[in-house]
Amino acid sequence: MVVTAGIIANPASGKDIRRLVAYGTVFDNQEKVNIVRRALLGLAATGVERVLFMPDYYGIVYKAVNGLSSQHHLSLEVIPLEMELTGTQIDSCRAAQELNRLGAGCIITLGGDGTNRMVAKGCGEIPLVSVSTGTNNVFPEMVEGTIAGLAAGLAAGGIVDGPGAVIRTKKLTIFKCGQPVDIALIDAVVLQDNFIGSRAVWDTERIKQIVVTRGEPYNIGISSIAGHLDPIGISEPRGLTIDFDGAEIGVLAPIAPGLIRPVRLQGYRSVALEEEIAIGHIPCVIALDGEREVEVRSGEEAAVRLNFDGPNVVDIKNILRQAVASGYFRREEVLGNFNWLKED
């Protein structure tokens, strides 16, 4: 079987309205090209033979390949997925579905929480190496592209499959009128709005309720409120729900890049796995991982359920440590047959 990895690089990540209302960095697509180029070299070094990628309007992966030194050519195949582009977030989901169908062993994503939410809808059991290039980056990691490629290659080829190399994450399932309609990987935020409007969330005055899978004091975005109340890690078997229908408790939190604000709330409590939290503020709009997605109209019911059915993710530090412990990087077959770059 051909060792295959996938790349889904979102050209729109890191460019939303939070650059206007806060101080978020504009993540240039050329830097995404540089990250992908380094990731490809890391994948090749670990024996990946084929990389399938989502095409995009900027040509991120094409430019990454074409920008390699003219004296060297990657021995692996780099092939675009055959898919019709919409120029929307749907492309990331469809690309993940196609990579799942074609048997990719790992997917590298470039984007923020929103990008990874869409990938999670289609990737099935394929583990993700998520590189942060978005605004609210709780799910993806700030990791150098070369290291991302090495970790993804180890996972894709099954070189390392020890305990903790790949971990399961939590997710929230959103129900409307008893039917599942969407998911979130980090947070579901109930807003006192009647229509979606601007997708990004930054105004805490309109928040009525939050349910999170996790939140740490070092996170940024809405989940940081949970992180500053009762920190919850990626593997803890619980979540948190926060009610804003009142102002009995105050907490300071970085709700967007550079925006550290006092937030007033009624109360909060832990959420158990498989527990369903009713949405009590209807009509409303529910934002998922930082973007308004679900409208709930008067007369409709909505709820959020926490479970451990989120995507698999590669623990980058753990998988590399296990590779070192196994002697992978010192094996003669790795050193002696190091032909992942061909010189002209």
3-state helix, strand, coil in the chain (%, to 5): 25, 30, 45
Least confident of 17-26, 162-171, 205-214: 17-26
Distance CA 155, CA 316 (A): 10
Domain 171-307 has CATH 3.30.360: no
Side chain identity at residue 274, one-letter code: E
Give pLDDT tens digits for 175-211.
Answer: 999 999 999 999 999 998 876 655 566 678 889 999 9
Say if CB 109 and CB 5 are below 8 A apart.
no
What token pair was written down for 24? 């978020």
Distance CA 279, CA 311 (A): 25
Residue 259 pLDDT > 80: yes
Say if CB 50 and CB 2 are below 8 A apart.
yes
CB atoms within 10 A of CB 291: 21
**CATH architecture for residues 4-168+311-343:** 3-Layer(aba) Sandwich (3.40)
Least confident of 59-63, 71-75, 117-121, 191-195: 71-75
pTM across the whole model: 0.92
Least confident of 32-41, 46-55, 256-265: 256-265
Residue 341 pLDDT > 60: no
Least confident of 64-68, 149-153, 165-169, 315-319: 64-68
Distance CA 182, CA 52 (A): 27
Instruction: Report the percent of the chain where pLDDT is more than 90.
Output: 76
Which stretches does DSSP call E strand in 152-258? 166-168, 171-176, 179-184, 187-191, 207-212, 238-243, 249-256
Residues 6+ apart with CB under 8 A from 330: none
Q: What pLDDT band is residue 20 in, cutting at 50, 70 and 90? A: very low
Same fold, 4-168+311-343 and 171-307: no
The DSSP-derived string for 18-44 is HHHHS-PPP--HHHHHHHHHHHHHHHH
Q: What pLDDT band is residue 27 in, cutting at 50, 70 and 90? A: confident
Give pLDDT tens digits for 70-115.
Answer: 656 777 999 999 999 999 999 999 999 999 999 999 999 999 999 9
Q: Report domain extents, the chain.
A: 4-168+311-343, 171-307
**What confidence score (pLDDT) does residue 297 get?**
95
Residues 6+ apart with CB under 8 A from 52: 4, 5, 6, 7, 79, 80, 81, 98, 99, 102, 104
